[in-house]
Structure 1
Amino acid sequence: MATDYDAPRKTDDEASAESLEALQASRSGSAQTAVIDVDETDTAEGIDLPGADLSGEELTVIVVPEQSDEFTCSSCFLVRHRSQVAREKNGLKYCIECEG
């Protein structure tokens, strides 16, 4: 869409009045309903309350060891791909983000 830069500009009062009228017209023309996006796997069981006793819970996460093409950054301690090594000093590797 082309913009005519030579046309006179509208003041803020005129623009807000037009936009208010447009909003009222669009609101009266259609009924609005709220749509909630709910994941089917979300349940109340996934919510932990503060101070809840979790001593009987069992860890269900599978921990994958560091692969041969990965390293652990000595600054942020995140496991990263070897292509993200920024420098190596005294046998310690540092990632691009920490050295950035």
Structure 2
Amino acid sequence: MATDYDAPRRGDSEEAGKNSLEELKSRRGDAQAASADVDDGETTESYELPGADLSGEELSVRVVPRQQDEFTCSSCYLVHHRSRLAEVTPDGQLLCRDCAG
């Protein structure tokens, strides 16, 4: 069905005559009041600040010793697989690709 966009709209013109300026202002105020921000207490309660006291918390991490095919980088002190070894310095220090490059 074709729509003639130049023709006056019947529904809008009828409603425009019924609504007074004061009524429109009161509707706008009601709509703004309904959409006001509400501070959620749940959001702030779940957020922990850095340096918070975590003395009561326990970690359950299984520590695995360094394997035969791994090395510790002498610059960043991370344990890497031997495939990440970039160079061995003259004094015997091992460097990973990230630190050497």
TM-score relative to the length of structure 2: 0.46
Higher helix share: 2
TM-score relative to the length of structure 1: 0.47
- Structure exhibiting the larger radius of gyration computed from Cα positions: 2
